[in-house]
Amino acid sequence: MPELRIAFLGDVVGAAGRRAVAHAWPKLRDLHGVHALIVNGENARNGSGCSPDNFRELLRGGADAVTLGDHVYKDRNILEMLEEPRQPIARPANLAAGAPGKRMIHLELPERAPKAPPVFVLTVLGRLYMPMMSNSPFECIDRELAAMPDRNALVIVEIHAEATSEKQAVAWHCLNTWTRDHGPRVVAVIGTHTHVQTADARLLDHALAAITDLGMCGPHRSVIGRDVRATLAAMVQQSPAALDVADGDNRACGVIIRIDTEHRRACGVEVVNIGVPE
């Protein structure tokens, strides 16, 4: 297989986001030749957390792996799946050592890519302006790469963070982890969390795909997925308001990562923004 194509979609917000994933997957597969789909599902449960039913719905909608972020434990019922090695869902790797849940996903590539090399997905939380405490994402990435048993593995790192500077720093750090031997190699660093798709998708040194934020899957007639009127009441009038998930202009946002499997490097990154018919 000369080229592996993996799509990564940003934060799934509520039922609208779950529908957007299911709508986007056939287009990614049939029109763009995508072999596998990763989604961030940490807002899948009405905008905060992910339930077992949400997780299963994302898998039925086409996802091969689901990542989580700072809302990882908002629905405690997901813990059983986080602990189950065969379930393709994981917590951020740089939480406390005793935090429940596995730290990495082995992306079981379907029959669409039977000859692909091993691919792992690793999520780390940023530490700047984030409400959830975590350890150094840089040290965590180094540790997880060093401990990875498959030395030929390709790794996609997700940095779930607020600050663009921190996300870009993680991308350059991962590029610097490259060695001349055949150790695990990071081929992409993907930013999530802000729900706003950024315009900086690029290849670092023609080798590592990077973007500061994928954006979100969900209603874009909103304030990062929440009802506009309620958000304005909270921000303008400082009035208590239930920030319910919005409705309208539903979209799936993310990227397609193209990987040259022979040379073990990214060879392209393409932004996607797929509208869902009303």
Enzyme catalytic residues: 71
* Residue ranges with strand state E in the chain: 3-9, 11-12, 36-40, 65-67, 89-90, 104-106, 119-125, 154-160, 185-192, 202-204, 208-211, 216-219, 250-260, 265-275
| Among 69, 63, 24, residue whose Cα is nearest residue 42 | 69
User: Which residues are CB-neighbours of 118 under 8 A, at least 6 positions away?
Assistant: 106, 150, 152, 153, 154
Cβ atoms of residues 185 and 265 within 8 Å: yes
User: Which residues are CB-neighbours of 31 under 8 A, at least 6 positions away?
Assistant: none
Describe the chain by its helix, strand, coil percentages, rounded to 5: 25, 30, 45
Query: How many C-beta atoms surround the C-beta of residue 246 within 10 A?
Result: 25
The two tokens of residue 211 are: 């973007």
